[in-house]
Amino acid sequence: MNLSNLAISIARTGMVTALAITAPAFAGQSKPASPQPDFGPNVTLFTPQTPLSEINAKLLSFSSEPEFSQNRHAVFFMPGVYGSDAGQNDPATATGIVNAEIGYYTAVYGLGRSPEDVLINGALHVEPKQENPYGNPQDDSLESNSLTKFWRSMSNLTINPIQRPVGDDALLPYPEGIAPPNTLRWAVSQAAPLRRVNILGNLELSGHYGAYAFGTYIANSQVQGSVISGDGTMQKAQAHWYTRNSTIGQWDGRAVNYLFSGVIGAPASNFAANGITNLQATPASREAPFLYVDERKRFNVFVPHAKSYASGHDWEVSPQAGKQLPIQTFYIAKPSDSAATINAQLRQGKNLIVTPGVYQLSEAIKISRPGTVVLGLGYPSLTPTTGKSAIEVGNITGVMLSGLIIDAGPKQSNVLVKVGQPGSYAGEQHDPTTLSDVYVRIGGPQLGSAKTSVEVNNSNVILDHNWLWRGDHGTGTAWGENKADHGLIVNGNDVNALGLFVEHYQKNQVIWNGERGRTLFYQSEMPYDPPSQAAWMNGSKQGFASYVVAPGVKSHEATGLAIYTLFVMGQDIFASSAIEAPVSPRVKLQAMTSSVIAGFGGIRHVVNEVGPTASAAAPNGAIYRMTSVIRLDAFPSTAQKKKHK
């Protein structure tokens, strides 16, 4: 279904309720449509016949969720055209558009086979928060930032950008929602990805008046105009961003760490001056599964195949591109379901759709069938309540986990997400288990604790955009409360991490024991809150390196690593190095940064004992309002390699 075929008339359905509702009928359809799946009360479905006022009002009501709300929202747009393009050249005059900010725990999905099957004339956008709304943008006193604009997403649709201020923002003296013609703003930080999105114009990743942001991820998308991230050397801007397997008109911006892999239209590499690294292709990748409706209005899930050395966007839905799973092959879980109920369905061979809500699990969700798909809608949260794991994957291949939040419970878990049991299960390169948009939180919404967030024991696994976060604010966030040693431990071989964000754990954020591992883009903040240097020692070493490649590893690659400190306890605290890795010809690290955002202390070296100190006491002004930024192009250097030989 492409836009050229959208003469189809779709009857209005409005909001899906907890009861089964018959699906809207296509004009001319001779037989009644099959019953629409019961996705529960937290899924909203729009059709082209839904009044724009209803669409905008519903989205506006979702946009006010607080940061640690218990509410969750999935929004579906059936194939068709929404809104008018009459004001596209002058948004101030636009009427009849879809125009809404996307708030916390809201995921927006088009339900076409292709992003081109759903056209939004208007804007589904994210704006910075003004800490001082009565300031003045001329002197930067608005203090706009997007540093907590987390947990929201958009996928599988086309936007013709026509953006105006909306809601409370429109009432401010200086609204953030103002945008130039043909420009959509997505000013976000972690866990706010764009996937399979087609933007018929420009995409702005910072604020109208500039904004601090620690942003996120674009995959398998097309931006026909410019992507504008801001000039981080001169103003508030996106500090870092990862763009994968996409097509863009051009990129306008620079800062700490921008990585592109397989992006047509990406800028040339210039890490030393602009923090930009461009890889022509992504060596191993697999796109996230997605829900769509076919020509007979039947719901299906498409599971893309893995790719090697891919570049550009690819929206093909065919047997050659992946597999189609009818909705009948899925158990549709609700927050009231127990882990036992869910596991019984999995044992019967069902895949799993996790509808929006908060799930309390007395035991782990256990996946033992190869190829099982677990698809979360609208940021569902899974919390283990008895100190067990939330998810355990067996020694199998081809499992897809997508769109999930894992929240640690008050009783400490050893591991929250375990992929395989310790051992030597090889997996399959052509059918890798993949974790897409899987996020872990230790504290924040509630008191929680877990020694390790994610442990990967199987080989041939892809980690596709994951944020593992020991909370630095919210409920139960103190050094002695949300205890957590490590974000990620990789024991399997041939594991690829694409867009890995790991923050604030109390020891090493990442430990990589497996061979032939690869990371493309890594963002990490060390813990803010060690009470003293004595309390944060790794034997005789000051602090804990963020990213550790184990001493015995012979082969490892990592590109685009940015590691930050913000020690806030009023005393100098240092980490000996940002990264630890063995010196070996097949251990190759490039485009690395150690930085002090503000506060005290810093990082002595970038890798091992290589690279100068990033120190709060020695500001260098490389990035706007960031105290110190140190860059290292490559490790080992040519001289180190010769010495090692």
Matching residue, tokens 């290292």: 632
d(CA 54, CA 375): 28
Q: State yes or no: is 525 an active-site residue.
A: yes
Which residue bears the tokens 């410019």?
Answer: 226
- Whose CA is closest to 253, among 283, 281, 223? 223
CB 580 within 8 A of CB 548: yes
Spatial neighbors of 156 by CB under 8 A, at least 6 apart, are 109, 110, 111, 112, 115, 118, 195, 196, 197, 290, 292
Instruction: Name the residue with tokens 């508030």.
Output: 236
Specify which residues 276 forms β-bridges with.
258, 270
AA letter at 187: A
Per annotation, catalytic residue among 65, 116, 127, 525 = 525
CA–CA separation, 247 and 228 (whole Å): 14
Contact 296, 279 (CB under 8 A): no
453: left (phi over 0), alpha (psi -120 to 50) or beta: alpha
For residue 41, the 8-state DSSP code is T
- Residue-wise over 209-228: b if at least 16 C-beta within 10 A, else e? bbbbbbbbbbbbbbbbbbbb
Residues with Cβ within 8 Å of 139's Cβ and at least 6 positions away in sequence, in order, are none
DSSP-assigned letter for residue 610: B
Ranges of H-type helices in 366-419: none
Residue 209 is given by DSSP the state T
**What phi-psi label fits residue 86: left (phi over 0), alpha (psi between -120 and 50 degrees) or beta?**
alpha
Nearest-angstrom CA–CA distance, 254 and 238: 8
- What is the residue type of 345? Q
Cis peptide bond prior to 636, omega within 30° of 0: yes
Tokens of 37: 């799946």
DSSP codes, 139-208: GTTT-EE-TT--SEEEEEEEEEE-----GGGGGSSS-TT---TTEEEB---SS--EEEEEESSEEE-S-T
Strand partners, 48: none
Per-residue 3-state assignment (H helix, E strand, C coil) for 538-581 = ECCEECCCCEEECCCCCCEEEEEEEEEECECCCCCCEEEEEEEC
Catalytic center residues: 525
